[in-house]
Amino acid sequence: MHPIRRQRLQIVALIFLLSACAAGLVIYVLGQNANFFFTPSQILAGEYRSGSTIRVGGMVVEGSVSRPNENLQTQFTLTDGKTSLDIVYEGILPDLFAENEAAIATGVMSVSNKLIASQVLAKHDENYTPPELTETMDFIRYSDYKVQ
């Protein structure tokens, strides 16, 4: 390779390496702050600023969804498998919101350690199956199924 081209290659490689290092540092510093939501365990461990609006994500516990009054107010429980947190929400839930499915609630913690949510989002997974198959296969991942 021509010496001038070799030098230009080194400059390009250096710029690439430096920008990769910068991005690596930014990612390292961002760390868990770039998470979209807290888990119920993090909330109960007090890892949030009290009084601020936070997001909590987890699985909607089976049988926990209830409407105590005759209005749009819904109560349900989110769990991360270890601990769970009660959510109170008044509004329309997304279509995919269901028990045993993941959801993310945005709101403020009340004194009684419940999240008073102003928004509830449904989180769906990366698996796609036709309806007739779900009954028999019960959400088996196709990748698991193919390996065997």
Tokens 């920008």 — which residue? 19
Q: Is 23 an interacting residue with respect to another protein (CB under 8 A)?
A: yes
Q: Return the structure tokens found at 29.
A: 């510093």
Q: Is 28 an interacting residue with respect to another protein (CB under 8 A)?
A: no
Q: Is 5 an interacting residue with respect to another protein (CB under 8 A)?
A: yes
Distance of CA 10 to the CA centre of its chain: 41
Burial of 48 from C-beta contacts in 10 A (0-12 / 13-18 / 19+): middle
Nearest-angstrom CA–CA distance, 82 and 80 = 6
Q: Return the structure tokens found at 145.
A: 């199924």
What is the torsion angle, in degrees rounded to the nearest 10, for the CA atoms of residue 42, residue 43, residue 45 and residue 50?
Answer: 130
Q: Which is nearer to another protein, 22 or 72 (CB)?
A: 22
Q: Is 70 an interacting residue with respect to another protein (CB under 8 A)?
A: no
Q: Which is nearer to another protein, 19 or 66 (CB)?
A: 19
Q: Is 49 an interacting residue with respect to another protein (CB under 8 A)?
A: no
Segment contacting another protein (CB under 8 A): 6-14, 45-53, 66-74, 109-117?
6-14
Residue ranges that bind another protein, judged by CB under 8 A: 5, 8-9, 11-12, 15-16, 19-20, 22-23, 27, 32, 34-37, 39, 57, 93-97, 101, 104, 119-134, 141-143, 146-147
